Copies of this chain bind each other. A is one copy, B any other.
Amino acid sequence: MRKENISDAVIRRLPRYYRQLSELYARGITRISSLSLGREMGITASQIRQDFSCFGEFGQQGYGYRVKELCEEIGRILGVDRSHHLIIVGAGRLGKALLQNFPFSQCGFAVDAAFDSSPAVIGSTVNGVAVRDMDTIDVWIRENRVDVVVLTVPRNAAQEITDRLIALGVRGFWNFTNMELNNSNPDVKIEDIHFADSLLTLSYRISHD
Contacts and interface: CB of A to CB of B under 8 A. Distances in A.
Interface in A136-160: 147-148
A197 interface: yes
B194 A15 contact: yes
Given A197-B12, A197-B16, A203 B23 contact: no
B107 A200 contact: yes
The interface size bin for chain A is 35 or more
B78 A203 contact: yes
Contacts of A84: 203, 206-207
Interface stretch (A45-53, A62-70, A97-105): A97-105
B198 A174 contact: yes
A100 B100 CA distance: 17
A77 interface: yes
Nearest to A209: B187
A205 B193 contact: no
Interface string A156-193: 00000000000000011110000010000001010101
B96 A200 contact: no
Interface in A1-28: 2, 11-12, 14-16, 18-19, 23
B107 A199 contact: yes
A129 to B, nearest CB: 14
**Max chain B C-beta neighbours (<10 A), residue from A78, A201, A203:** A203
B180 A23 contact: yes
Contacts of A79: 200, 203-204, 206-208
A94 interface: yes
A185 to B, nearest CB: 12
Contacts of A77: 204
Ranked 4 nearest A-B pairs via Cβ: A79-B207, A15-B197, A15-B200, A191-B202
